[in-house]
Structure 1
Amino acid sequence: MKRSLAGRLMLWLLPLGVAAIALPLAMQTWLEDVWLSAIISAVVLLPLAAWVIRQALMPVNSLFRALSGAVNSYRDGEFNFGVHWSGNDELNDLVLSHEELGQVLRDQRQGLAQRELLLDSMIQHSPVAMLLLAPGGDGGMRVVFANLAARNLLFGGRRMEGQRFETLLEHAEPELVEAMERGGDSLFAVGAEEEGGEEQIYHLARRRFQLNGRQQELLQLWRLTTELRRQEVQTWKKVIRVISHELNNSLAPVASLAHSGGELVRRGRHDQLEHVFATIEERARHLEEFIRGYARFAKLPQPQKQAIEWAAFLRGLQQQIGFTIEGHAEGVRSRIDPAQLGQALLNLVKNAHEAGGEGSEVTVRVTPLHGQVRVEVLDRGSGMNEAVLQNALVPFYSTKRNGTGLGLALTREIVEAHDGRIALHNREGGGLCVSLHLPST
């Protein structure tokens, strides 16, 4: 049966209450003086009451001290502290709740410990070199943490914790020291130590943050050589496939026509030679334009920027190809290379006309944004499917029979050289929107 704390105190105080009533009556009979009996009863009962109450509250005080000690243990990260209470009252409920809290904290701590071990194992065996730095007492930066890749890269595999980072840099590669001095994220290449060795390319990432009230800096070094070489090989394979395809498409008909032309000469049928030569010339000019496109893509110079006003700039392009201007181009200015960006926009408008068919209307819309200007080329053609949208900006990708796959890729190179970006999406109701985001002045 559960007994409340108040009930237990009543059991302690009930005999004292009976004594408080009976003793004055007995004293009054003996002393025959009411006031004197009351005084003597008080002198006897008050110390007794104090002792009874103290004895009753002693286990409670011990329990409170134990609970306070347990809370302090939790604060210090120790969750194995236990509290016991023999009663079946409200304090027992408090102790049970406290034990449940301790078990929850123990389970959480164990889970955190397991996750920390997993995270530490992943970081230690990561191929990315990671260093955590914190200010030292001498004004420099000290290594707080370094994984195995960082130790092997910078310290011969030895532990680096506590080392002065500036001292480590004195023995590091000059390219890494230069990248650190530049600040921020950067790419750098480390030359091969041996003749015929491979140059190593790294990406340095730096992040600063507050940890436990102290300024910390995390350095990450990725070795990109293998991935870049793999991407380079894939790119060369793709270039070779595209060039081989174009050469075969042109040289095979040329060889066949040359053979046919020789047969016609031997037979004396000179009237058909004009068609043979015209076809050979057409294929030769296609190859010439194909190679010229590759040359433009490979030798795109740095933009020579100058201030332009978009309304006037677009009106100048309208003299070369037809399109409608919409939006708020008046008074909007940017610093661009007029020749490069003008050619990029002309190519986009030309593509838009081809997508929409002969006589189709193409719109160029200018929208000023905060610190930017958005230039959209809009058509009402058939748009692009998902596969084409995902690859349209990739060099050498083309869905046209005689396309080189360099038009949109060259446009992207020009826009990105102007610190901008390009995006494509299908319009509601049909058609394509090519949007350029460029800085404004």
Structure 2
Amino acid sequence: MIAIAIIGITASAFATVLLSQWLQPWAAALLSAGGIAIVIATMIWRSLVPMRALFRALAGTVASYRDGDFSFGITWDKASDLIELVDAHNALGNALRDQRLALVQRELLLDTMVQNTPVAMVLIDPNQRVVLGNLAARRMLGEGRRMEGRAFADVLSNAESALRDAFERGGDGMFTIGSEDDEDIYHLSRRSFRLNGRLHELVLLRQLTAELRRQEVQTWKKVIRVISHELNNSLAPIASLAHSGAELLRRGQPERLPEALATIEERARHLEGFIRDYARFAKLPAPRYAPVVWQRFIAQLRAQVEFTDVLQPADGIGRFDAAQLEQALINLLKNAHESGSRAEDVSLSVRQLPDAWRIEVLDRGSGMNDAVLANALLPFYSTKRHGTGLGLALAREIAEAHGGRIALLNRDGGGLCVAIVLPATH
């Protein structure tokens, strides 16, 4: 048994030695291949780590650019083809940063101009809330406080009644704030546009008082020229015909005197009417208030000029100087017919407000450009070749003499609206 065991152990050892000699070349090969793979994997890992860091840096700067931060750059000191990508990326960042700086500077300049312009500017969003109100708008509408975020209706609720009326009429127009001795004249402009795909409205309120004062000086100079021209056109032929009449008498030809005298009379009456019109404007008497049934008053107007009418309420009774208001409205209705509007598009609207009567003369003519709109209410300002420029100015005088006001605005779709607001009681 011991011998058998010894033989078994010897055989096993011999087999083990033979097997190890047979496997040794293969193990060496396997060990050598594994070492090379480990070396290659280590080299690849070492080369990929910086590139992964670069890609993370690129992703981070792109995210910063997306958020509007262009202050980041990338440093890459590896000698590889990726340096071109890094340089291009840094150049893009520098370009975006320069453009952002220029844009910020332009925005600061624009904001400075908007805030310090004397024109009141209010930007309103689709929900009728104030997005922007410059300093002039704050002084005029916001009692000096910021208006951003407030409902525009709330802002208007504390404004002058004339301003609220101008907004209620819609469109562009002029209105007056203050008393006759201390009044300010404003022009309202409203424009709609899309901002970021949403409809916004820009409101501009421009004070015209100083400009109109300068225009009045120029207007009075024009008045002097007009009166001088008219007087010369009438007095020169009168003097010439009077001299001719004297010559006819001296020559014993009295049969030609009636013709000369008729011409003298015609020129004298023309001059008389010219002076009378100007005197009527210059010396408008104080209104004589009396109750007036609107239906009867409108019927008297229609007997003199054609128009359609809207009266609310139908049985309304006003209190005003019927002769003066008739004169003002006839001038306005005739202007409406001369605007190029069709006769059926000329209309008169009379509506009762809580404490006033609102009278509107409407047409579908060519309307007025900004220059004419700014000067139309001035005495003697006219765009007509032979116009006296007294129609609108006289209507303004009559409205203000009644404690009311007048405004002009272009209508949507073309045409003009002349609105007179008269107090309901006196």
Report the TM-score when normalising by structure 1.
Answer: 0.53
Query: Residues 166 and 175 of structure 2 are in contact (CA less than 8 Å); yes or no, is this contact kept in structure 1?
Result: no
Q: Distance in 1 between matches of 2:230 and 2:163?
A: 44
Question: Is 1:86 the equivalent of 2:72?
Answer: no
Question: Is 1:55 the equivalent of 2:46?
Answer: yes
Look up the SS of the partner of 2:183 in the other structure: coil
Q: 1:107 to 1:277 in 2, by over 3 A?
A: farther
Q: Distance in 2 between matches of 1:171 and 1:420?
A: 31
Q: Distance in 1 between matches of 2:268 and 2:72?
A: 84
Query: Residues 179 and 204 of structure 1 are in contact (CA less than 8 Å); yes or no, is this contact kept in structure 2?
Result: no
Task: Tell me the amino acid that sits aligned with residue 89 of structure 1.
Answer: S
1:281 corresponds to which of 262, 272, 279: 262
Matched residue, 1:205:
190
Question: Is 1:174 the equivalent of 2:124?
Answer: no
Shift in Å at residue 203 of structure 1? 1.5
Counterparts of 1:9-408 in structure 2 under 5 Å? Answer: 35-134=26-125, 141-182=128-169, 184-192=170-178, 194=179, 196-211=181-196, 215-231=199-215, 234-235=218-219, 237-259=221-243, 261-262=245-246, 265=249, 267=250, 269-271=251-253, 273-275=254-256, 277-279=258-260, 281-282=262-263, 284-285=265-266, 304=307, 336-337=342-343, 395=383, 397=385, 404=386
Q: Distance in 2 between matches of 1:171 and 1:103?
A: 50
Q: Distance in 1 between matches of 2:84 and 2:261?
A: 99
Q: In terms of mean alpha carbon deviation, does 86-95 or 228-237 score higher?
A: 228-237
Q: Distance in 1 between matches of 2:414 and 2:168?
A: 27
Q: 1:279 to 1:112 in 2, by over 3 A?
A: farther
Shift in Å at residue 66 of structure 1? 1.1
Identity of aligned residues (%): 45
Query: Residues 201 and 224 of structure 1 are in contact (CA less than 8 Å); yes or no, is this contact kept in structure 2?
Result: yes
Look up the SS of the partner of 2:263 in the other structure: helix
Q: Distance in 1 between matches of 2:173 and 2:119?
A: 14
Q: Distance in 1 between matches of 2:102 and 2:33?
A: 61
Q: Distance in 2 between matches of 1:50 and 1:287?
A: 119
Task: Tell me the amino acid that sits aligned with residue 281 of structure 1.
Answer: A
Look up the SS of the partner of 1:49 in the other structure: helix
Q: In terms of mean alpha carbon deviation, does 94-103 or 240-249 score higher?
A: 240-249
| CA-atom RMSD in angstroms | 4.1
Q: In terms of mean alpha carbon deviation, does 274-283 or 123-132 score higher?
A: 274-283
Shift in Å at residue 92 of structure 1? 1.1
Shift in Å at residue 276 of structure 1? 5.5
Shift in Å at residue 129 of structure 1? 0.8
Q: Distance in 1 between matches of 2:156 and 2:188?
A: 17
Q: Distance in 2 between matches of 1:396 and 1:244?
A: 19
Look up the SS of the partner of 1:123 in the other structure: helix
Look up the SS of the partner of 2:129 in the other structure: strand
Shift in Å at residue 234 of structure 1? 4.0
Bigger RCO of structures 1 and 2 (CA < 8 A, at least 6 apart): 2
Task: Tell me the amino acid that sits aligned with residue 43 of structure 1.
Answer: G
Shift in Å at residue 287 of structure 1? 7.0
Query: Residues 120 and 137 of structure 2 are in contact (CA less than 8 Å); yes or no, is this contact kept in structure 1?
Result: yes
Task: Tell me the amino acid that sits aligned with residue 172 of structure 2.
Answer: S
Report the TM-score when normalising by structure 2.
Answer: 0.55
Shift in Å at residue 108 of structure 1? 1.0
**Deviation digits for residues 31-71 of structure 1 (CA, Å, limit 9, x no counterpart):** 76565444333433333322220101111111111111111
Query: Residues 189 and 205 of structure 2 are in contact (CA less than 8 Å); yes or no, is this contact kept in structure 1?
Result: yes
Query: Residues 191 and 199 of structure 1 are in contact (CA less than 8 Å); yes or no, is this contact kept in structure 2?
Result: yes
Q: Distance in 1 between matches of 2:161 and 2:206?
A: 17
**Deviation digits for residues 390-433 of structure 1 (CA, Å, limit 9, x no counterpart):** xxxx8465xxxxxx589xxxxxxxxx99x989xxxxxxxxxxxx
Query: Residues 175 and 187 of structure 2 are in contact (CA less than 8 Å); yes or no, is this contact kept in structure 1?
Result: yes
Which one has a bigger Cα radius of gyration? 2
Q: 1:275 to 1:111 in 2, by over 3 A?
A: farther
**Deviation digits for residues 97-136 of structure 1 (CA, Å, limit 9, x no counterpart):** 112111211211121112112211211122221112236x
Matched residue, 2:317:
none
**Deviation digits for residues 212-236 of structure 1 (CA, Å, limit 9, x no counterpart):** x655332222223444454455455
Q: Distance in 2 between matches of 1:199 and 1:117?
A: 31
Task: Tell me the amino acid that sits aligned with residue 246 of structure 1.
Answer: E
Query: Residues 73 and 90 of structure 2 are in contact (CA less than 8 Å); yes or no, is this contact kept in structure 1?
Result: yes
**Deviation digits for residues 11-48 of structure 1 (CA, Å, limit 9, x no counterpart):** xxxxxxxxxxxxxxxxxxx9765654443334333333
Query: Residues 129 and 149 of structure 2 are in contact (CA less than 8 Å); yes or no, is this contact kept in structure 1?
Result: yes
Q: 1:45 to 1:88 in 2, by over 3 A?
A: closer
Q: Distance in 1 between matches of 2:182 and 2:260?
A: 50
Task: Tell me the amino acid that sits aligned with residue 203 of structure 1.
Answer: L
Q: Distance in 1 between matches of 2:243 and 2:235?
A: 12
Q: 1:82 to 1:233 in 2, by over 3 A?
A: same
Q: Distance in 2 between matches of 1:179 and 1:420?
A: 18
Query: Across the two proteins, how many residue pairs are aligned to each other?
Result: 282
